[in-house]
A and B are shown apart, each in its own frame.
Chain A
Amino acid sequence: MQLQNQCVAYIVKGDKEMVKLTINNKVIKASEDTTILQAAKDNGIIIPNLCYLEGVHEFGSCRICSVEVVGAKTLMVACMTKVKEGMVVHTNSAKVIKARKVLYELMLSDHSKACLSCNRNLTCELQKLGETLGVGENRFETTSCRNEIDKSISITRDLSKCILCRRCVTVCNEVQGVGILNAQNRGFDTTISPSMDLPIGDVKCAFCGQCTVVCPTGALKETDSTEKVWEAINNPNQRVVFQTAPAVRVALGEMFGYPVGTSVTGKMAAAIRALGVDDVFDTDWAADLTIMEEGMEFLHRVTDVLAGKKATLPMITSCSPGWIKYVESYYPEQIPNLSTCKSPHMMLGALAKSFYAEQKGLDAKKMFVVSVMPCTAKKFECTRSEMQNDGMKNVDAVITTRELGSMIKQAGIDFENLPDEKFDEPMGFSTGAADIFGLTGGVMEAALRTVYALLMGKNLPFENLHVTPIVGLSQIKEATIKLEGVLPQYKQFEGLEVKIAVTSGLAGAKLLMEQIKNGTSPYHFIEVMGCPGGCITGGGQPRSHDTKVKEKRMSILYAEDENKHLRQSHENPSIQKFYDLWGSPGCYKSHEYLHTYYVDRSGNNN
């Protein structure tokens, strides 16, 4: 009965009324809840706009999409105004075009004109809008009131290029729930800044970099690391080791004109080699290794709790450095919940300079490890003092997917015509479980595949090995897996209902942390990725206006997984061989090189 009621309610709710309106003398029909901008777009009429970002920032702050609505006192912003029955709209009348050009000229008036040397040259949305509007003069030239450049380890803010559109404010406050950036001061002096105009490195910013993805201009970007990478490549005495994260291969192609959702793994490996890099490893290999270490750690913690010993549950994944910095800054009391595993690229860096160097007889001190990551927070992570072994940094530099694309262009490499190449051994081979590390739910699924197989002696009972309840883009996903018929050597786990939760984006993480804090968290194991959707849409990924970017990159990463013959980390022969030479998951040496600790940053902003 209740179900029926719900269905009825749904139909009523879903049955939006259609209205008839006129846009540019064309009679169109649109659902009453659409905006003028959307209705126009659906009918082949393009209204120029700037700050609008579908599904993220629908705020009307730039006013560029102003249109004339007959009967309205003033021009209306098309991105905010809903269609109405009988509405008459002009999107390109003389009045509208004049207003739009003046708005644009005012935006330019105090905007830096250093376009040719700007890192957003040709990808700048303000530049593109100028071309669309056909603005040919700059009547209101003034000196910029915001000249400050604020450079932190991960993110650089150039206030002379900020147009106050507030997209970053929306992602930082509403999407991520962190609230580092907001409008400060008033009028001409307004800046989009942290509290009291403090440098972004001095406040509790997680460095997730989502602001750098949505910024339409060069005001927010990753702090450049390519310069020191080029230096290392050009230094004949240095052995340069590159590694690439799972999410990089499904987005890098976009930098070279490939459609969103194209995998370029082979070309990426070839291009990196063509840069003059000595070893091209795959962070995927270390993702498989992470599963072995993290899976073992989880089993140890559960074993201890079942035996009445002290251990902290739920255990939370630790691959996402933005997430880690967030916990350290805002939930330091939950640090014991974090897995002690280093993130995969840090594990690979540590092993490149120890295990690999020993095997090859290389001088580890002359090695320079570069991680290509979809992430800006990893730039901060690699500078952490605890990410060192034998007096050397595990990873020397982190570049984003965008920076790698730029390096390939700088080197004059014809990316499109490169033949596919493979990663180098011994840290190049990976299973499908590693590929899905790049998307929300992937680390958990990869861990479950291995832990389940180990305890039960059989594969995870889900079609195609995908744990369906944790697939997708919902903010919080949960599942329960009952262990029935465990192998005799693990009989303590018999009957256990393992409760898991997965979230991506720091706003969701906050909800799960509050549960733990209140003692109401029912979970054993939680996966958190700092960016919404996971690493596929991380802060270092190519900027895309495709509203289906998450789904497209996600499906291609799942396809990479499904196309592999081996899909469970413990089946990786290269990892098995590594442990034969090294020890075992969780052994003393593993703890030394592959695990870490965390720092309470709640009082200290750094």
Chain B
Amino acid sequence: MNEIQSSNCCENNHLSKLEQIESVIDLYKAKPSNLIQILHASQQIYGYLPLEIQEFIASKMKMAVSEISGVVSFYSFFSTKPRGEHTILVCMGTACYVRGGKKLVDELQKQLSIEIGDTTEDGKFTLEIARCIGACGLAPAMMIDKTVYKSVSPNKLKSILAKY
């Protein structure tokens, strides 16, 4: 009984998210030139952009799914896989790279047992890299959600992750 209720609840949740995405599309008048903004907002609403959501957007905007998918796969910001509760973004810009950004990525991959772009099994973290987050003076830097961590070294990572 509980199971049925919870699945209904998920279904409702899913439908309300689709409604929200639809209202974003309406807001942007379903114009193909506004596709990136629409995808941006849709990812915020749904968390990620699986094929099903891309198909929904395509049908509402009267565009080909392959065109939507072309844009989604072009920009590294968009994800087609579920995202973790928190996104770790390690800067791999020149300054951070030479000061050990790569080592941070290696260590995070080891500690979280995931590859770049993937999400931990418990759904807590998604690991991403960025070309530059504009904090070169703080190199090597990384972000978790909106918080910037400066001069990070691999041995600090455990305590940082423990905060989440």
Contact between A195 and B63, CB atoms less than 8 A apart: no
Q: Mark B72-114, 1 if CB is under 8 A from A, else 0.
A: 0111000010000000000000000000000000000000000
Partner of B70, one of A178, A183, A198, A203: A183
Q: Is A180 among interface residues, defined by CB-CB distance under 8 A?
A: yes
Q: Is B65 among interface residues, defined by CB-CB distance under 8 A?
A: yes
Within the complex, the shortest CB–CB distance from B153 to chain A, in Å, comes to 31
Within the complex, the shortest CB–CB distance from B21 to chain A, in Å, comes to 17
Q: Is A93 among interface residues, defined by CB-CB distance under 8 A?
A: no
Contact between B73 and A179, CB atoms less than 8 A apart: no
Q: Is A585 among interface residues, defined by CB-CB distance under 8 A?
A: no
Q: Is B9 among interface residues, defined by CB-CB distance under 8 A?
A: no
Q: List 10 A-B contacts (CB under 8 A).
A: A179-B63, A179-B66, A185-B73, A193-B66, A195-B64, A195-B68, A195-B70, A196-B51, A196-B69, A203-B66
Q: Is B54 among interface residues, defined by CB-CB distance under 8 A?
A: yes
Within the complex, the shortest CB–CB distance from B57 to chain A, in Å, comes to 11
Q: Which residue of B lies closest to A180 (CB)?
A: B66
Contact between A179 and B67, CB atoms less than 8 A apart: yes
A273 to B74, CA, bound (A): 52
Within the complex, the shortest CB–CB distance from A267 to chain B, in Å, comes to 41
Partner of A178, one of B54, B64, B75, B80: B64
Contacts of A193 in B (CB 8 A): 66
Chain B, interface size: which category? 10 to 19
Given the known interface contacts A195-B51, A195-B54, A196-B80, the answer about A182 and B69 at a Cβ–Cβ threshold of 8 Å is: yes
Q: Mark A157-188, 1 if CB is under 8 A from B, else 0.
A: 00000000000000001000011111111100
A side interface size, CB within 8 A: 17
Within the complex, the shortest CB–CB distance from B46 to chain A, in Å, comes to 16
Contacts of B70 in A (CB 8 A): 182-184, 195
Contacts of B67 in A (CB 8 A): 173, 179, 182
Contact between B69 and A186, CB atoms less than 8 A apart: no
Contacts of B54 in A (CB 8 A): 195-196
Q: Which of B48-69 contact A (CB under 8 A)?
A: 51, 54, 63-69
Q: Is A344 among interface residues, defined by CB-CB distance under 8 A?
A: no
Partner of A179, one of B51, B65, B80: B65
Contact between A195 and B74, CB atoms less than 8 A apart: no
Q: Which residue of B lies closest to A191 (CB)?
A: B73
Q: Which residue of B lies closest to A194 (CB)?
A: B66
A331 to B54, CA, bound (A): 20
A178 to B65, CA, bound (A): 10
Contacts of A195 in B (CB 8 A): 51, 54, 64-66, 68-70
Those 6 A-B pairs whose CB atoms lie nearest each other, nearest first: A179-B64, A195-B69, A182-B66, A195-B65, A195-B66, A182-B70
Contacts of A184 in B (CB 8 A): 66, 69-70, 73
Contacts of B80 in A (CB 8 A): 196
Within the complex, the shortest CB–CB distance from B13 to chain A, in Å, comes to 22
Within the complex, the shortest CB–CB distance from A595 to chain B, in Å, comes to 32
Contacts of B64 in A (CB 8 A): 173, 178-180, 182, 195
Within the complex, the shortest CB–CB distance from B50 to chain A, in Å, comes to 9
Binding site for B on A (CB under 8 A): 173, 178-186, 193-198, 203
A196 to B64, CA, bound (A): 12
Within the complex, the shortest CB–CB distance from A523 to chain B, in Å, comes to 23
A184 to B70, CA, bound (A): 4
A179 to B61, CA, bound (A): 13
Contact between A185 and B74, CB atoms less than 8 A apart: yes
A183 to B63, CA, bound (A): 14
Within the complex, the shortest CB–CB distance from B60 to chain A, in Å, comes to 15
Contacts of A183 in B (CB 8 A): 70, 74
A185 to B69, CA, bound (A): 9
Within the complex, the shortest CB–CB distance from B36 to chain A, in Å, comes to 14
Within the complex, the shortest CB–CB distance from B40 to chain A, in Å, comes to 17
Q: Which residue of B lies closest to A182 (CB)?
A: B66
A193 to B54, CA, bound (A): 15
Within the complex, the shortest CB–CB distance from B56 to chain A, in Å, comes to 13
A186 to B73, CA, bound (A): 7
Within the complex, the shortest CB–CB distance from B98 to chain A, in Å, comes to 23
Most chain A CB within a 10 A radius of its CB, from B66, B70, B75, B80? B66
Contact between B66 and A186, CB atoms less than 8 A apart: no
A470 to B102, CA, bound (A): 67
Q: Which residue of B lies closest to A193 (CB)?
A: B66
A195 to B69, CA, bound (A): 5
Most chain A CB within a 10 A radius of its CB, from B51, B73, B74, B75? B73
Contacts of A197 in B (CB 8 A): 73
Within the complex, the shortest CB–CB distance from A511 to chain B, in Å, comes to 13
Contact between B66 and A181, CB atoms less than 8 A apart: yes
Q: Mark B26-57, 1 if CB is under 8 A from A, else 0.
A: 00000000000000000000000001001000
Q: Which residue of B lies closest to A195 (CB)?
A: B69
Known: A196-B69, A203-B66. 10 other contacts (CB 8 A): A183-B74, A184-B66, A184-B69, A184-B70, A185-B74, A194-B66, A195-B64, A196-B54, A198-B51, A203-B65
Within the complex, the shortest CB–CB distance from B62 to chain A, in Å, comes to 10
Within the complex, the shortest CB–CB distance from A358 to chain B, in Å, comes to 48
A181 to B66, CA, bound (A): 6
Within the complex, the shortest CB–CB distance from B71 to chain A, in Å, comes to 9
Contacts of B68 in A (CB 8 A): 195
A178 to B54, CA, bound (A): 16
Contacts of B65 in A (CB 8 A): 179, 195, 203
A172 to B85, CA, bound (A): 39
Most chain A CB within a 10 A radius of its CB, from B51, B70, B75? B70
A187 to B90, CA, bound (A): 22
Contacts of B75 in A (CB 8 A): 186
Within the complex, the shortest CB–CB distance from A67 to chain B, in Å, comes to 30
Contacts of A179 in B (CB 8 A): 63-67
Contact between A186 and B63, CB atoms less than 8 A apart: no
A109 to B64, CA, bound (A): 31
Q: Which residue of B lies closest to A183 (CB)?
A: B70
Within the complex, the shortest CB–CB distance from B130 to chain A, in Å, comes to 15
Within the complex, the shortest CB–CB distance from B124 to chain A, in Å, comes to 26
A493 to B51, CA, bound (A): 51
Within the complex, the shortest CB–CB distance from B54 to chain A, in Å, comes to 7
Q: Which of B138-163 contact A (CB under 8 A)?
A: none
Contacts of A196 in B (CB 8 A): 51, 54, 69, 73, 80
A193 to B65, CA, bound (A): 11
Contacts of A186 in B (CB 8 A): 73-75
Contacts of A194 in B (CB 8 A): 66
Q: Which residue of A lies closest to B50 (CB)?
A: A196
Within the complex, the shortest CB–CB distance from B148 to chain A, in Å, comes to 27
